[in-house]
Each structure stands twice: as structure tokens, then as C-alpha cells.
Amino acid sequence: MWTNFFKLRLFCCLLAVLMVVVLVINVTQVEYLDRETVSATFIDSSGQFVSSQAAGISRNPYCGYERQTLSSRERMEEDSLLAALQWQVSDVGLVPFVKSTDPSSSYFVILNSAAFFKVGSQLEVLVHVQDFQRKPKKYGGDYLQARIHSSKLQAGAVGRVVDYQNGFYKVFFTLLWPGKVKVSISLVHPSEGIRVLQHLQEEKPDRVFFKSLFRSGRISETTECNVCLPGSLPLCNFTDLYTGEPWFCFKPKKLPCSSRINHFKGGYLKGLLTASESAFFQSDVNIKMPINSSGPDWVTVIPSRIKETYNLELSQGSGTFPSGYYYKDQWRPRKFKMRQFNDPDNITECLQRKVVYFFGDSTIRQWFEYLTAFVPDLVEFNLGSPKNVGPFLAVDQKHNILLKYRCHGPPIRFTTVFSNELHYVANELNGIVGGKNTVVAIAIWSHFSTFPWEVYIRRLRNIRRAVVQLLDRSPKTIVVIRTANAQELGPEVSLFNSDWYNFQLDTILRRMFSGVGVYLVDAWEMTLAHYLPHKLHPDEVIVKNQLDMFLSFVCPLET
């Protein structure tokens, strides 16, 4: 009897082990299939699954990013993002300068011209580009920017450009205010220049280089640093332990890696272009040059009924375009009613008993600087931080307000940042408790323009994960994202910080934070729609409108 019982127990144990082995094998196969098939697909604009191979999605081999470990969902999202960034430039081989896009020969025509338009009507404009021989171009790929404006009303809004890939472009505007409205179209870069910018990003992602100083006693050495470094020389690995963000420096010959004391921008590579390529990047010729109209460049807009206009301005549709417009130099978002914080007391009342964190590049530092200059009760503490680098701190003890600014981690092109101040935004967010009196503002884009898109996607993925966790543990925390903005361009700046690069970064940021529960300050449209020249750091009137929008999220109008 006992022998039979023992045999039965042994049989059951063997059966259980066999079942576990089979289960492990099946799970492994499913995970393998998941990686090999599902991860290689994305959903196109029609909602259909398309393989990355079929869609022609190529991954940049820079730093081994094409081999990074991603979940199937992350891989699918990255494929979708890379597909959305596919800029259609025809492969027409080497194009001589005279056959490239000439803005002075190109022209636009208002299509649906009428005696009068109503507020809310759509305006369609056709753009026809020609080369320097005044011959029509047969392919697309040019980067255009478009806006409507009324100078007397200090009003402006952006337009949506559609490329028909045959030398014709159509621009769609929504007429949002009454009066005489003028159309302006600009060529930012010809398609031939876009091909050069694409090549630089693929082949020269290290065209901005960084350095660090290592010091111990009287001995000091400076070495080059970057997201990855070529060659077989020994490296110091400063990859972040929590986010996995890679960063390396060449190892000093006489000093240990632990002796690093700072980080700074080394400079920009020179001689990146051939003479023929340089011709596509000429100021006053083909960089941000106006395209003239072949007929009237303006229309007359008459008011709609009050109720219709109100519904138009407060449109709640997802993906509203444009997101807003200027009127009398004040930004008017179309999704909600924005407050005006024209008095320092209004800002103090809004921020009372709050802690406000500003994380990111110098464009979010502008917000900190505006607030500390405009609100007298906000006193900045001298932390001994390098100018324009930070970290910075300002306090209003009477009203219990605390403002903090900290730059994001590398890559960052600041002059000198102490090594112990190189903090990643995701890690900072993980250290915030959050709550109804906590506000977070983030801007991170400008310093990633030279790198492959995968580098930026990885950074935003880490930040988004930290934001989601913050909002999960403290749902009443306010998180605001500032988008990229247009800037002034010349032949050299175009190779490193072109609006075309930043437009791609802006597209990635909007898609990755869609539906996350954060607020968006549309700095992109707010710079393009304004009459002032584009600047990396916009003028005060634009910054003021950005902060009015930011503060309106923190302290919305009571309805």
C-alpha cells in the first residue's frame, strides 16, 4: 500500500515538472514571436497594421539604438513615430543649385477667393515652387511655413501645409478674426537642403561635441564626451543607473573616472558641407525667404454671429488646428478661455502656497527669469550657480511660494555644468511627492536636434514614465509641457538647430504626451503666428503669453 502511494506521489511530481517545462517553452515562444512580429508593426493613419519593413522604416545604427531592448508596445510606438517623421524627398540624385527651389521665382495664389469671408471660414492657398531658371519643379519636399496676420490688430495664426509631391503645395487657414487678413508664405529650406540635413543627422550625429574636465590635486585633464564615442580607446561610463540614459567620456590618461568635475560644450564640427551643398544654405537667398503672391495676398473677413464665434474659439475637438491665434497681441487658445496675468499680484495669488518646478533647457529657464523679474516678492537665492546654467531658487516667504529651476541631463550645450548637477528630469520627477500645491513645467528639445530621433524618443519615454507615476500617486499635481519653437536661422545654425529638425522633435513630443494627462503650452504656434522675428529665446511679449497660458492651467477661470 505504502509502495503504491509513493509511486503515485512520484508520478504526480514528474507530471507537475513536465507541465512547468512545457509552460516555460510556450511563454518563450510567445515572447519571441511578440518581439519578432508585433514589435515590427505600427498603426498607420487609417488604423491598419503595417510592418516596419513594408513602410520603409530605417533605424539609425548610432550608438546601437537599433538594438536597444524595448517592449513590444515601445517598439510599436517607436515604429509609429519614425513612420510619422518620414519626410518625402524625391530621390532625384545630385541637383545643381540652379535647379533647386528659388523662393523669389515661386508664387502662391488664393484659391477660394471671394468678396467676403466670414469668421470661421476656411481659406485655401496654392503654392507653386520653381527653380532658379524659373522652371516649375516636378517634386516636393520643401519645408514651408505659413501664417495669416493683420498688423493693425496685432493678430496672427498659422496654416497647415500639404505637400502634393509635384511642386505644388496647398495651405489651409482658418479665419479667426474680422478685418483685412494677409497671407504670408516662407521657404525655410528647399527640398535639396532637407536632403542634406537628413544626411547630416544620419552620418554626423556627433557634429556637436562635448567635454569634461577631470581633476585631482594639481593634475587635470580634459576629454571628449558624448552619447557614444568611436574607436577603441578606454572609456568612462557615466550611464545613468536609474534611467539607463547613456553617456561616455574618453578615460583620462592619468586620472580615474571618478575625478570628473564638470561638463561643457566642446564646440561644433566645421567643414560639414561641400561647396555644392553649401549653396542650398544661403541667407537672403533660400533660408527663411518669403514667397510672393501672383495676385492679391489678402482677404476681407466679416464677423459671424456672436454665438458662432464663441463656439469657434472654444472648440473642444481633439487635435484642434490651429491651437490658437493672436489678437491685440494676446494669445487666444481655441480649447479654453485663457486668463491675463497683467499684475504681479495676480500671479502671487495664483501661486500662493505652491512649489513650482521648472525642468529643462534655457527656454523654460526664461519662464523662471520672467517670474522673478516681474513679481517683486519673489526673491532669488544666490546658490553660487553658474550664470544661465543653474540650479536656481526663488522664494516668496510671505505667500509661501517656492520656484526651482534645474537644467536637464546631457546632452546639453551649456558652458559649464558641475558634474554633481547633471540630473536627469525623470529622476527628479521620481523624487517629487506631488499634490494639489505642486506644479511641474518641462521643456526639453533644443539640445537634441543633432541626434537621431531614437535618442530623443528614449529621453521622452523615461520622462513620460516618471510623469505617469507622479500623476498616479498624486493625481492633483499639475504637469505642463512647453513645446519647441521656431528660431532665427543662418547657414551654420541651420546645420545644427534648423526649424526642420525642431519641427520633427515637436511632432515626437506631442505624440508621446498625447493622452497622458499633461497640459501643453504651444510655443511652436505662438512663435510662428507672431509678427516678431523668430528667436531661440522669444521676446518678452511671447514669453508673457506663454506664462499666461501656463498660469491659466494652474489657476483656471471658475466656470
Which residues on neighbouring strands pair with residue 479, listed in sequence order? 440
Rg over alpha carbons for the chain, rounded to the nearest Å, is: 27
Strand 41-43 with 101-110, pairing: unpaired
Q: What is the CATH number of domain 329-554?
A: 3.40.50.1110
The domains of the chain are located at 97-195+283-302, 208-268, 329-554
The angle subtended at Cα 99 by Cα 97 and Cα 103, nearest 5°, is 85
Q: DSSP letters of 405-437?
A: EEEPPSS---S-EEGGG---HHHHHHT----TT
Which residues on neighbouring strands pair with residue 180, listed in sequence order? 300
pLDDT for position 92 = 77
pLDDT for position 110 = 96
In the chain, the amino acid numbered 22 is V
Contact predicate 168/128, CB 8 Å: yes
Q: Is the peptide bond before 491 cis (omega within 30 degrees of 0)?
A: no
Q: How many CA atoms lie within 13 A of 166 on its CB side?
A: 3
Closest CA to 211 of 269, 262, 276, 284: 262
Per-residue pLDDT of the chain (559 residues), as tens digits, is 445 544 556 555 565 555 544 444 443 333 333 333 223 333 333 222 233 333 445 566 677 766 678 899 999 999 999 999 999 887 778 899 999 999 999 999 999 877 789 999 999 999 999 999 999 999 999 999 999 999 999 999 999 999 999 999 999 999 999 999 999 999 999 999 999 999 999 999 999 999 999 999 999 999 999 999 988 999 999 999 999 999 999 999 999 999 999 999 999 999 999 999 999 999 999 999 999 999 999 999 999 875 545 445 554 444 689 999 999 999 999 998 999 999 999 999 999 999 999 999 999 999 999 999 999 999 998 888 888 888 999 999 999 999 999 999 999 999 899 999 999 999 999 999 999 999 999 999 999 999 999 999 999 999 999 999 999 999 999 999 999 999 999 999 999 999 999 999 999 999 999 999 999 999 999 999 999 999 999 999 999 999 999 999 999 987 5
Tell the burial category of 82 from Cβ atoms under 10 Å away from its Cβ (0-12, 13-18, 19+). buried
Same fold flag, 97-195+283-302 and 329-554: no
Buried (b) or exposed (e) across 453-490, using 16+ Cβ within 10 A?
Answer: bbbbbbbbbbbbebbeebbeeeeebbbbbbbbbbbebe
Whole-structure pTM value: 0.87
pLDDT for position 93 = 80
pLDDT for position 114 = 76
What topology does CATH give the domain 97-195+283-302?
Immunoglobulin-like (2.60.40)
